[in-house]
Amino acid sequence: MNSPLLDDIGKLIFRVGFGVLFLMHGINKVMHGIDGIESMVVNAGLPAEIAYGVYVGEVLAPLLIIVGWHARIGAILTAITMAFAFTLAHSHEIFELTAHGGWQLELQGMFLLASIAIALSGPGRISLNGR
């Protein structure tokens, strides 16, 4: 196999895996609502309507990433979503470790870094955009 094909297969696996894992959080919000997020947004002094952006960041954006259609835009949206999550929901945990020595926010950190990686590397040729 040639290297460009392996790169594209790697991007496909990374993109789909990340997108599905991120989308699961969005499905939970669709099924159970966003009241908790709305209260965090309001407590931060922001308009409550901003909370509805979670549907864009956790449902639409992962779908864009999974299928590889404007995946870079989807990845930027998931990175913005994670920045909001860090700020609104997890700011008190940034410097905490788990009982096993891992970073308290390693899942959130992995989502943020993976979003940035997809935004920088693109979806690969095995995608709807094909680039």
> In whole angstroms, what is the distance from residue 31 CA to residue 28 CA?
5
* 78: number of Cβ within 10 Å: 30
Task: For 41-63, write each residue's pLDDT tens digit.
Answer: 999 999 999 999 999 999 999 99
Residue ranges covered by each domain of the chain: 3-121
Task: For 86-114, write each residue's pLDDT tens digit.
Answer: 999 999 999 999 999 999 999 999 999 99
Contact 18, 128 (CB under 8 A): no
> In whole angstroms, what is the distance from residue 39 CA to residue 89 CA?
11
Tokens for 77, please give them. 């949206």
Which pLDDT score is estimated for 2?
73
Residues 6+ away with beta carbon under 8 Å from 33: none
pTM for this model (two decimals): 0.93
